[in-house]
């Protein structure tokens, strides 16, 4: 399966059979000398041909296909049970019942944005067609209805779609994601950033996160055995850890401000990774920083990325008791103090595959890590800017969750909001004055 990476120009690549991890040398050799299930030719011949012969841009160029609206928009009338079953059989659900996207419901959703229904929002990679799939505002509105979202959530869902990132990865490992919302819209639509922010029970958190998953299943066919090949999968893919940052309870500036947005802007941010480690059971005889360093030392630090989601109480302790006045200060401390033996670092398969080639090219600090003695302590989280800190929770217990999730990107929500309706209500200059007028309100 040789194809162009659309971000790297005409660079061919080839998929080998799987699994790879834990296989014997004989089995891996068999992958190379055996037949490519995609072409029927020996894999080694495909490798030689596709990496030595000139590339034909006409054959490799990615083409964007538009989501086929007729499949989801113009269905024949039927009973609700039959339609639910049809959506399920077609792969247009996450396995749970959806809200049927009638024209009336989609129109109500579309009224919540200033964008035209036909406007292209973005595109996602779809591996089975060797290309990308473009989707419109109307396509996103259909998904939002199916996910059970209210119209007021729609600008957030559009911003998520505009990132162009799939909620579910086409991978054999157990990828998951986190979707974070910052800014005024958190409270406007009633998102949960406090007690149980990652738990079921909040309609905005649940439906926004679910909508992102439905984009992946409906548009890029990210279903088991189709374009998703994760051996175990992840239940986190149901709503993608969707939550809001508890800006009001945090002693530090919000995450989106760290990324260059104004505090009064509403923003969604995407993170991706494999695992979260809960701090419950950590030892009080050690400092918060020491505990976090211990936890980081147990996680494969593939790209030196980490994301820490902490209760406001932890953030407060770090500032008041340890003097970390900014998130950046604590991230810098972690980058200098989170260590592990070089032997353990290079013993992780993903590190060996993805990082070792960089070390062999002399790229630092990986080259120095490779030269280190097996028992020498290295600092794999060497870049503080790759350590993300998010404040979430209800201040009921000073806990945190730590992960190797990496920050992917952020997208503005405000650009997708509906424009205020033009009205003459303020023509007399009384906007904002209580009715009835009470002079005491202005004393």
Residue 139 lies in a domain: yes
The answer to whether 286 and 367 have CB atoms below 8 angstroms apart is no
Residue 316 lies in a domain: no
Residue 20 lies in a domain: yes
Greatest CA separation found in the chain? 88
pLDDT tens by residue, 191-220: 999 999 999 999 999 999 999 999 999 888
With residue 436 as reference, give the H or E element that holds it.
none
* DSSP conformation letters of 112-147: T-SS-TT-EEEEEEEGGGTEEEEEEHHHHHHHHHHH
In this structure, what token pair is assigned to residue 16?
Answer: 């080998």
Give the number of other CB atoms < 10 A from CB of residue 420. Answer: 7
Residue 441 lies in a domain: no
Are residue 81 and residue 162 in the same domain, yes or no? yes
Q: Rounded distance, CA 289 to CA 279, Å?
A: 12
Q: Which of 61, 85, 103 is the last residue of a domain?
A: 61
Residue 165 lies in a domain: yes
The answer to whether 232 and 175 have CB atoms below 8 angstroms apart is no
Are residue 89 and residue 1 in the same domain, yes or no? no
Are residue 88 and residue 166 in the same domain, yes or no? yes
The answer to whether 392 and 181 have CB atoms below 8 angstroms apart is no
Q: Rounded distance, CA 213 to CA 207, Å?
A: 10
Q: Which of 221, 252, 283 is the last residue of a domain?
A: 252
Q: How many domains does the chain have?
A: 2
Q: Considering the entire predicted model, what is its pTM?
A: 0.84
Residue 234, classed as helix, strand or coil, is coil
pLDDT in tens, the chain (443 residues): 333 344 444 456 666 777 777 778 888 888 888 887 777 888 888 888 877 877 665 555 455 555 554 454 578 889 999 999 999 999 899 999 999 999 999 999 999 999 999 999 999 888 777 678 899 999 999 999 999 999 999 999 999 999 999 877 766 667 789 999 999 999 999 999 999 999 999 999 999 999 999 999 988 876 776 766 666 766 677 789 999 999 999 999 999 999 999 999 999 999 999 888 888 777 677 899 999 999 999 888 888 999 999 999 999 999 999 999 999 999 999 999 999 999 999 998 889 888 999 999 999 999 999 999 999 999 999 999 999 999 999 999 999 999 999 999 999 999 999 987 643 444 443 333 344 434 344 33
* DSSP conformation letters of 181-232: EESTHHHHTT---STTTTSS--HHHHHHHHHHHHHHHHHS---BTTTB--SS
Are residue 74 and residue 29 in the same domain, yes or no? no
User: How many H helices and E strands in the chain?
Assistant: 18, 15
Q: Cα torsion for 135, 216, 409, 236, to the nearest 10°?
A: 160
Are residue 239 and residue 213 in the same domain, yes or no? yes
Tell me the residue range of the domain where 219 lies. Answer: 63-252
The radius of gyration of the chain from alpha carbons, rounded to an integer in Å, stands at 25
Using the Cα atoms of residue 349, residue 351, residue 354 and residue 357 in order, give the sign of their dihedral.
negative
DSSP class of 88: H
pLDDT of residue 303: 87
Residue 278, classed as helix, strand or coil, is strand
Q: Rounded distance, CA 10 to CA 50, Å?
A: 11
Start-to-end Cα distance in the chain: 74
The answer to whether 244 and 184 have CB atoms below 8 angstroms apart is no
- 3-state DSSP percent of the chain in helix, strand and coil, to 5: 35, 15, 50
Are residue 80 and residue 21 in the same domain, yes or no? no
Residue 409, classed as helix, strand or coil, is strand
Are residue 71 and residue 37 in the same domain, yes or no? no
Residue 406, classed as helix, strand or coil, is strand
Are residue 45 and residue 112 in the same domain, yes or no? no
Residue 29 lies in a domain: yes
Say if residue 201 is exposed, middle or buried (CB neighbours under 10 Å; 0-12, 13-18, 19+).
exposed
pLDDT of residue 423: 38
Q: Which of 223, 252, 281 is the last residue of a domain?
A: 252
Nearest of 212, 265, 217, 221 to residue 241 by alpha carbon: 212
Are residue 80 and residue 191 in the same domain, yes or no? yes
Residue 387 lies in a domain: no
The answer to whether 221 and 128 have CB atoms below 8 angstroms apart is yes
Residue 288 lies in a domain: no
**Mean pLDDT, the chain, whole residue set:** 85
Q: Rounded distance, CA 264 to CA 256, Å?
A: 10
Are residue 192 and residue 106 in the same domain, yes or no? yes
pLDDT of residue 86: 95
Are residue 133 and residue 163 in the same domain, yes or no? yes
Residue 69, classed as helix, strand or coil, is helix
Q: Rounded distance, CA 440 to CA 442, Å?
A: 5
Q: Alpha carbon 368 to chain centroid distance?
A: 31
Are residue 35 and residue 181 in the same domain, yes or no? no
pLDDT of residue 286: 87
In this structure, what token pair is assigned to residue 60?
Answer: 């490799």
pLDDT tens by residue, 315-347: 999 999 999 999 999 999 999 999 999 999 999
């Amino acid at each position: 399966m040789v194809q162009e990476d659309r971000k790297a120009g005409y660079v061919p690549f080839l998929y080998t059979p799987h699994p790879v991890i834990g296989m014997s040398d004989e089995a891996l050799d068999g992958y190379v000398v055996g037949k490519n299930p995609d072409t029927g030719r020996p894999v080694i011949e495909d490798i030689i041909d596709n990496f030595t012969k000139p590339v034909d841009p006409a054959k490799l160029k990615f083409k964007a296909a538009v989501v086929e609206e007729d499949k989801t928009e113009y269905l024949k009338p039927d009973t609700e049970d039959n339609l639910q079953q049809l959506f399920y059989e077609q792969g247009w659900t996450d396995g749970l019942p959806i809200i049927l996207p009638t024209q009336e419901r989609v129109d109500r959703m579309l009224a919540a944005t200033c964008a035209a229904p036909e406007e292209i929002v973005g595109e996602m990679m779809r591996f089975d067609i060797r290309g990308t799939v473009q989707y419109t505002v109307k396509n996103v509105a259909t998904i939002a209805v199916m996910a059970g979202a209210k119209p007021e959530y729609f600008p957030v869902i559009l911003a998520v779609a505009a990132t162009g990132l799939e909620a579910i990865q086409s991978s054999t490992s157990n990828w998951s994601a986190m979707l974070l919302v910052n800014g005024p819209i958190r409270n406007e639509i009633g998102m949960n950033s406090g007690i149980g922010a990652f738990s079921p029970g909040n309609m905005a958190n649940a439906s926004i996160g679910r909508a992102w998953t439905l984009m992946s299943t409906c548009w890029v066919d990210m279903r088991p055995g189709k374009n998703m090949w994760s051996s175990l999968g992840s239940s986190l893919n149901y709503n993608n850890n969707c939550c809001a940052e508890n800006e009001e309870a945090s002693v530090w500036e919000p995450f989106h401000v760290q990324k260059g947005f104004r505090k009064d802007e509403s923003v969604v941010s995407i993170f991706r990774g494999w695992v979260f480690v809960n701090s419950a059971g950590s030892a009080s005889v050690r400092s918060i920083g020491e505990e976090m360093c211990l936890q980081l030392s147990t996680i494969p630090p593939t790209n030196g990325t980490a994301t820490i989601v902490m209760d406001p109480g932890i953030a407060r302790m770090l500032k008041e008791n340890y003097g970390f006045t900014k998130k950046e200060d604590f991230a810098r401390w972690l980058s200098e103090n989170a260590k592990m033996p070089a032997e353990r670092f290079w013993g992780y398969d993903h590190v060996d595959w993805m990082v070792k080639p960089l070390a062999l090219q002399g790229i630092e600090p990986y080259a120095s890590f490779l030269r280190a003695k097996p028992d020498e302590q290295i600092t794999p989280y060497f870049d503080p800017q790759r350590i993300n800190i998010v404040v979430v929770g209800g201040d009921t217990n000073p806990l945190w969750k730590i992960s190797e999730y990496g920050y992917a990107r952020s997208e503005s929500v405000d650009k997708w909001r509906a424009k205020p309706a033009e009205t003459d209500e303020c023509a007399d200059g009384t906007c904002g004055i209580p009715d009835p007028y009470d002079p005491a309100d202005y004393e």
